[in-house]
Structure 1
Amino acid sequence: MLLPYLVALSGGLLLVGLIWGLAFSPPHHEQGNSYRIIYLHVPAASGAMMGYMAMGICGLVSLVWRMKMAEVAIKAIAPFGATLAAVALITGAIWGRPTWGTYWIWDARLTSMLILFFMYLGVMGLQNAIADPRQAGRAASLLSLVGIINVVIVRYSVDWWHSLHQGSSMSIFGAGGSQIHPSMLAPLLISMFGTYFLFAVAVLIRTRTEVLWRERRSRWVKEVLR
């Protein structure tokens, strides 16, 4: 069973990345120590977008091939994705106050991330509001698939419109490489991978729970729970 190893891996990476970034990485030459919130903000925002992209793919599989497990996966992903989107919005607001002089502005990146959070809530709302699991799954699949458009907007909003939010500085494989100093980039990447593995842990646990609940009257479930 891989779950215990994933738990240990995610916990270890997050512990190392956050302690390194928050306590030992050097201060930013312009933002001072306020920039350190990126070690929470960037992994949360990246994880939230990754999670919705995964839901969109599952939505396509569900609508085209009618696979029940794709609907289960969407239901498993949505709560943790919404949590990460909320963390990204909150930490972004905290970061924005000393950096931009305000907690919130209707900037393209901020607004599209807020819409992403609401779309997560919309998927969860559809799943809970519709009594028939299959109908609820199809409705959530459709919203998940449509919502990919907003994920693309979140990702490229700072390039398409004049934005208060700074542009991407993590193009590691681009022509110019990353604009973040290695002493700051290393803990950030570690925190991001820790977040991704934690996401995988949450999805696996919720998927297993949902499958057991849906098949609770089956003989194999009763044998497993003995």
Structure 2
Amino acid sequence: MWRWLHPYAKPEATFHLVQKLLPWFLVPGIVLSVLGLVWGLAFAPPDYQQGESYRIIFVHVPAAMWSMGFYVAMAAAGLLALVWQIRTAELALLAIAPVGAVLTFISLFTGALWGQPMWGTWWVWDARLTAQLILLFLYLGVMALYVAFEDERAGAKAASILALVGVINIPIIHYSVYWWNTLHQQSTVTRAITRLEAPSIAPEMLYPLLVNIVAMMLISAVLVMLRLNNEILRREIHRPWALKYLGIAVSTPAATTGKE
């Protein structure tokens, strides 16, 4: 079942795969980002209750969704690193963590901007907000553990364990609005998808939101892939294939000729 992963335990194979995938993520990501933001910020109608301030959802909702999605991906990389001892999985974990942390920060920051006019305060210790803040600390903890050990493999193991333990926070974030009485509204898009319900948001607002969700996933994936290949090159810089890619001449011992 997992045989397809075996070739990518080799950093060179992973590097070249990422190089091939990058354009397929980058170009649609840029196009959809421009389309989604212009559509949502300029052409979507104002909300009948929140007015123009609701437009922050076109950044806030995608960032919040993918902050959780990329954490799950990071934990999966940690599982591969722990169980199958795949070195590139360790590098993937390191590549995902900063991108996920930025997404989490964006979700918290835009949530505060949204909450101030809606709730009358920048921050409340609401169940979802608190769980999302814990997610940011988990990302930061993974990054800190990775570099806290002199032995990189020991640091990667510790970071992988923390990433796996922290997965328990993901369902808490998602279901917090159902389990507790919170100020945060329930998830409109995911509820419609998982429960096959008609979304409560108008199509004129839903479609640009969906475009922005896909766009943020693609752009975030591009950042992860760039970071992954950078980490691979940094660690494989002594390899002939890496030197060739960077355009650095590989020195070979000169042949000896002539008489003694």
Structure 1 residue 147 corresponds to structure 2 residue 166 = yes
Superposed CA deviations along residues 153-201 of structure 1, whole A, max 9, x for unmatched, are 1111101111110011113332422111110000000001000001110
Per-residue deviation at 1:148? Answer: 0.6
Q: RMSD of aligned C-alpha atoms?
A: 1.1
1:69 to 70, 81, 88: 88
- The answer for the alignment partner of 2:183 in structure 1 is 164
- The answer for the alignment partner of 1:222 in structure 2 is 243
**Aligned positions, number:** 226
Structure 1 residue 9 corresponds to structure 2 residue 12 = no
Superposed CA deviations along residues 67-96 of structure 1, whole A, max 9, x for unmatched, are 111111100001111001000000000000
Larger radius of gyration: 2
In structure 2, distance between residues paired with 1:51 and 1:218: 30
- Secondary structure of the 1:143 match is helix
- The answer for the alignment partner of 2:117 in structure 1 is 98
| Paired AA for residue 219 in structure 1 | P
In structure 1, distance between residues paired with 2:240 and 2:162: 34
Which 4+ stretches in 1 moved above 3 angstroms?
A: none
| Paired AA for residue 152 in structure 2 | P
Query: 79-88 or 127-136: which moved more?
Result: 127-136
In structure 2, distance between residues paired with 1:95 and 1:162: 19
In structure 2, distance between residues paired with 1:152 and 1:22: 30
1:199 to 198, 217, 220: 220
In structure 2, distance between residues paired with 1:65 and 1:204: 21
In structure 2, distance between residues paired with 1:158 and 1:2: 37
In structure 1, distance between residues paired with 2:241 and 2:72: 33
- The answer for the alignment partner of 2:16 in structure 1 is none
In structure 2, distance between residues paired with 1:221 and 1:208: 11
- Secondary structure of the 2:188 match is coil
Per-residue deviation at 1:2? Answer: 3.1
2:204 to 149, 161, 183: 183
In structure 1, distance between residues paired with 2:244 and 2:53: 54
Per-residue deviation at 1:4? Answer: 2.6
In structure 2, distance between residues paired with 1:36 and 1:25: 8
Runs of 5+ unmatched residues, structure 1: none
In structure 1, distance between residues paired with 2:78 and 2:24: 29
Structure 1 residue 43 corresponds to structure 2 residue 62 = yes
Structure 1 residue 55 corresponds to structure 2 residue 70 = no
| Paired AA for residue 61 in structure 1 | L
Runs of 5+ unmatched residues, structure 2: 1-19, 248-260
1:117-128 paired onto structure 2 within 5 Å? 117-128=136-147
- Secondary structure of the 2:192 match is coil
- Secondary structure of the 1:165 match is coil
Q: TM-score, normalised by structure 1?
A: 0.97
- The answer for the alignment partner of 1:24 in structure 2 is 43
In structure 1, distance between residues paired with 2:85 and 2:26: 31
In structure 2, distance between residues paired with 1:113 and 1:11: 27
Query: 58-67 or 172-181: which moved more?
Result: 172-181
| Paired AA for residue 7 in structure 1 | L
- Secondary structure of the 2:117 match is helix
| Paired AA for residue 46 in structure 2 | P
| Paired AA for residue 181 in structure 2 | H
Q: TM-score, normalised by structure 2?
A: 0.84
Superposed CA deviations along residues 120-170 of structure 1, whole A, max 9, x for unmatched, are 111111112222111111111011111110111111110111111001111
- Secondary structure of the 1:154 match is helix
| Paired AA for residue 108 in structure 2 | L
